[in-house]
Structures are given as C-alpha cells and as structure tokens.
Amino acid sequence: MSQHRSEITDDKNASLPSQPKICIVGGGLSGLATAYRLHRLLPDASISIFEATSRVGGVIHSERCKDYLVDHGADMFATNPPAAMRLCEELGVVDDLIEPLVKGRGAKIVNGGRLVALPEGFVLMRATQLWPMVRTPLLSIRGKLRFLMERWIPVKTSRGQDEQDESIGDFVRRRMGHEMLDRIVAPLTAGIYTADIDRLSMLATMGPIAKMETTHGSLAKATSERRKSGEDSVERNSAGARYSQFRAFPEGMVQLIESLVSHLPAEVINTDTKVLSLSRSTVEGWNLSLKTDDAERCESFDEVVLATPPRITSNLLQGICPSAASLLADIEASSVAIVVLGVKQTQIARPANCFGFVVPLSEKRKILACSFASEKFRGRAPTDRVLIRVFVGGAMQPELLQQSDQELSNLVREELFELIGLSGEPEITQVVRWHEAMPQYHVGHLDRVAKIESELTEVEGVTVVSNSLHGVGISPVIGQANTAAAQIASRLNSSSDPSS
C-alpha cells in the first residue's frame, strides 16, 4: 500500500462493531507515528504503546544545558520525501519550523590535516558543476582525470538478480576511481550512515543515483539532462547537503515527539514497560507478557506493531516466525558516541566557517565528523558561543567506544585542537552514546527486506515498522508508519464487515 493511499484514507471510521485493541511495542518515532496515524484512522480503537525506558522518542531527544540547546540525535529533517512535512502540517507545528541559517552553509573535508571546502554543487557522489571539481585541492590531477572519465565508463552488466546490487565502494571505484571514493564520497557517506562503504548497499541507500547509471549510462550524462530540465537547480548551489531542504524546531527535535504525544490520549503511552514475549492467543489475536517494576502481567491484543530495533524484534518473533526473525537478526547496527562541547568563540583559533566537516579514514584520525550546531540553527548557543557535536565510533572504529566518557572527551578536544585550534576548558561537555542505533543497509538489503515482509504476510496481525527496513531518516520512518497504520485499519475494517 502506498504512502499516498495511507494519507487519503485518513478519516474517521465508525464501522467497527467493537473496540479493537492494538499494541505498539517501542515508543520511538516509529511507534509514536504509527500510533498517531492509527488514532486518526481508528478513533474508537484502544491503542497502547509499551516503551521499556523511562521516556518516549528513542534517539530523538533534546535538552537545555546551561545556555545551550543540545540535540542528542538527529537535529533536523529533510522536507523530501514529504511525509515529515505533511505530519507537521497535521500536527499544526509547520509554522514553528526553522530553516538552516544562510551564513556558513556548506561542508568541508579534512585533507592533509586541513579543512578543505567541498566543491560547490557536489552532493553525495554527483557533481552538478564541473569547474569547482577541476579546481578542488581534494583530488590530484590524476584523480580529477579519472573522475572526468566517468562519462565513458560502461554500465555494469548483471548476469542475475543477485548481482544487481553492489556496495557504494565498488560503485564509486568502478565509475569514478579510488581517489574520489577515499577523499570525498566515503567520508560524506560515513557521516550519514556511520558505515563501512564496502558493505553498504548502493540500491538501498543511493537507489536514485544507481538508477541514473542504468537509465542514462553515466552520472555525468544524467546530470547533463537534469541541468537542461532544471532539476538540479538546488544541487548546483549546494556543497555537500541541500540545506534549504532541511527543517528543525526552535527547541530541538524533541518538539516533534512532544507534538505527537500531545495528539494521543494520555492512557496510550506506557513507559518503563518491557515486553518479554509475544505469542498467539488461544482464541484470536496475540498475548504479550509485560514487565513493570518487577511485576509481570499478560495482556491480549487484536493487532501488534513491533517498532523496535531489529535485534529486539527478532527475539520477539523467534517463536512465531523464525524465518523472519533470522533475517532480522542479520541486519547489523553500528554504535556511535556524540561528544558535545559548548565553547566560547574566542576558544577557536581557526574557525571552520561552515556547518561542519567530515573526516576520511585515510586521515587516520579518531573522529568521523563534526557539526557546528549553533552555526546551522539559531537558538542553539548564545551569540558569542559555539555548540559543537563530534561523532566517534561507527562501523569502522567501534573500538573507540570502549573508552570512558572522559577519554572520549579528551580525544575529541585533541582532534579539534589540531583541526580548528580549539583550546581551553569547554563550558559544557556531554557524551551521548547510542548502542547499535544505526542499522547497516548492507549489500542485498532490499532482497532481505522483501523476504522479511513476505514471511510476515503469513503472520496476520503482526506488523514491523522500523528504520532498519526502508530508510533511516525521519521522513522515511514516518512514511512507513503511515503505510503500516493504513494496512492495519484496512485489515480491521475488512474483518468487521459482514459482507467481506
């Protein structure tokens, strides 16, 4: 069922003869967005969210620390795909949204220990302007010539379905060369997915770019066509990210979570409630074993939505659909630490004058990326202060996360001293750790997800919604939640219709 259908079927439904009971396991964005949509579609349904921790929102959380506003996870969302923006319109918060500041837009890459601006018009792995690529010091003459040859590199031929997908590393090496991958594409991609680009699926993460090769023969030819049609107008004025297509909230991304919660009945959300097991009911529906404050109880539901990380979802499905459980267990997830520093502007001897920078592995440094949050959005720090978020760990340097918070803080400060001249004691220091929070879309991910969903069709009444399936961003997750809720509403309506 398409996202469009999930939106146009969002109406009040009074055809259900009884009050269906729906349980959502997990109170992150996936669970909350699904609950919100179900409440809109089935206002008479009894909906319960069970969240094992003391708060909802998952990796989305914001807090005030002295005069700084700190986002613990995502600090903005993309307006395209449009599911997140449409949700904000429904919630009545679209007018609250803020855009990234104009001054300082752009990203840089560490090259030889220096911060070098990403060529204007370069987005992810596509150059919408050639002259900045010719002039950039990020590539050697040989690297630039190899990049310019991309137009004449033949399209990859596949002998079978299993060979259609390839890693981002293989794709970029094949089309643009190793230097382009190592110095530009890999650090940009790692900054998004904290992943190993030699395992990351091209089709699952960069599908539209992969399609450009098959449709036009090369990225250069596809870009020429897009330039003629005006499709690349935004990209041509961007460097690394299309910042005009992102939005945030004045008080951080937690405002999205708070708004979703405010649109749900108070009795829906149950925190500090762990789901121990899921099993078929002896009558119809499903039994959940719940644990709260060392007390255990069992409740029955007509529908169950698993909005949990793949490892937890796999455990709950083990006795119900072992094949889907096994496939979910195969989806790895990387861990990351975000070291947050609040400093005076005078403590930075060499200001980066950008929104952030990424670090190639070849630089042999101990940080993945750095974001200057207060340079991106107003209200994150006082006017003479800078809020910095530095990412450590990921799939390629997981051993760094074994260090203590103090050790990670010291490590980051040493790196920033060398890169931007940071000195002195920060006014605030926080270390936010996210364990196995970023699903890794490895080669073959789309096939794996298709098999999971095929297996789950045999388990009526259980739905999986997760950022480990169809996209890690906020908008893709909301789109999945819309689709899942529409399918559940359709199923319940159909079962309640005497003529069906």
Residue 36 reports pLDDT greater than 50: yes
Residue in the structure block whose two tokens are 């055809």: 15
Q: Which two tokens stand for residue 247?
A: 């939005």
The pLDDT confidence band at residue 228, using thresholds 50, 70 and 90, is: confident
Say if CB 277 and CB 288 are below 8 A apart. Answer: yes
Q: Which two tokens stand for residue 499?
A: 């003529």
Residue type, 145: L
Burial class (CB in 10 A: 0-12, 13-18, 19+), 53: middle
Residue 3 reports pLDDT greater than 50: no
Domains detected in the chain: 3-57+263-331+445-496 (3.50.50.60), 62-103+333-439 (3.90.660.20), 121-238 (1.10.3110.10)
Phi, psi of 399 (to 5 degrees): -65, -25
Give, in order, the Cα–Cα distances in Å from 385 to each of 72, 132, 369. 19, 32, 20
* Alpha-carbon span 13 to 18, nearest angstrom: 12
pLDDT at 282: 72
pLDDT at 16: 45
Q: What angle do CA 365, 74, 291 make, to 5 degrees?
A: 110
Entry pTM: 0.91
Angle between helices 186-193 and 168-176 (to 10 degrees): 160
| Residue 226 CB coordination number (10 Å) | 18
Residue 17 reports pLDDT greater than 70: no
The string of pLDDT tens digits covering residues 353-382 is: 999 999 999 999 999 999 999 999 999 999
Nearest in space to 363 (alpha carbons), one of 110, 155, 146, 167: 110
* Alpha-carbon span 426 to 456, nearest angstrom: 50
The pLDDT confidence band at residue 163, using thresholds 50, 70 and 90, is: low
Residue type, 182: D
The mean pLDDT of 14-38, rounded to a whole number, is 87
Residue type, 343: V
The alpha carbon torsion through 394, 399, 405, 409 (nearest 10 deg) reads -70
The pLDDT confidence band at residue 255, using thresholds 50, 70 and 90, is: very high
pLDDT at 19: 87
pLDDT at 237: 55
End-to-end CA distance of the chain: 19
Strand-pair partners of 298 = 289
Residue 397 reports pLDDT greater than 80: yes
123 or 31: which leads in pLDDT: 31
Residue 160 reports pLDDT greater than 70: no
| Average model confidence (pLDDT) across the chain | 91
* Alpha-carbon span 364 to 146, nearest angstrom: 24
The string of pLDDT tens digits covering residues 452-499 is: 999 999 999 999 999 999 999 999 999 999 999 999 999 988 866 655
* Alpha-carbon span 79 to 478, nearest angstrom: 12
Q: Which two tokens stand for residue 265?
A: 């009945």
pLDDT at 159: 46
What residues have CB less than 8 Å from 250, skipping those under 6 apart? 96, 98, 378, 379
The mean pLDDT of 59-88, rounded to a whole number, is 96
3-state secondary structure the chain: CCHHHHHHCCCCCCCCCCCCEEEEECCCHHHHHHHHHHHHHCCCCEEEEECCCCCCCCCCCEEEECCEEEECCCCCEECCCCHHHHHHHHHCCHHHCECCCCCCCCEEEEECCEEEECCCCEECCEECCCHHHHHCCCCCHHHHHHHHHHHHCCCCCCCCHHHCCCEHHHHHHHHHCHHHHHHHHHHHHHHHHCCCCCCEEHHHHCHHHHHHHHHHCCHHHHHHHHHHHCCCCCHHHCCCCCHHHEEECCCCCHHHHHHHHHCCCHHHEECCCEEEEEEECCCCCEEEEEEECCEEEEEEECEEEECCCHHHHHHHHCCCCHHHHHHHHCCCEEEEEEEEEEEEHHHECCCCCCCEEECCHHHCCCCCEEEEHHHHCCCCCCCCEEEEEEEEECCCCHHHHHCCHHHHHHHHHHHHHHHHCECCCCCEEEEEEEEEEEECCECCHHHHHHHHHHHHCCCCCEEECCCCCCCCCHHHHHHHHHHHHHHHHHHHHHHHCCCC
175 or 105: which leads in pLDDT: 175
17 or 264: which leads in pLDDT: 264
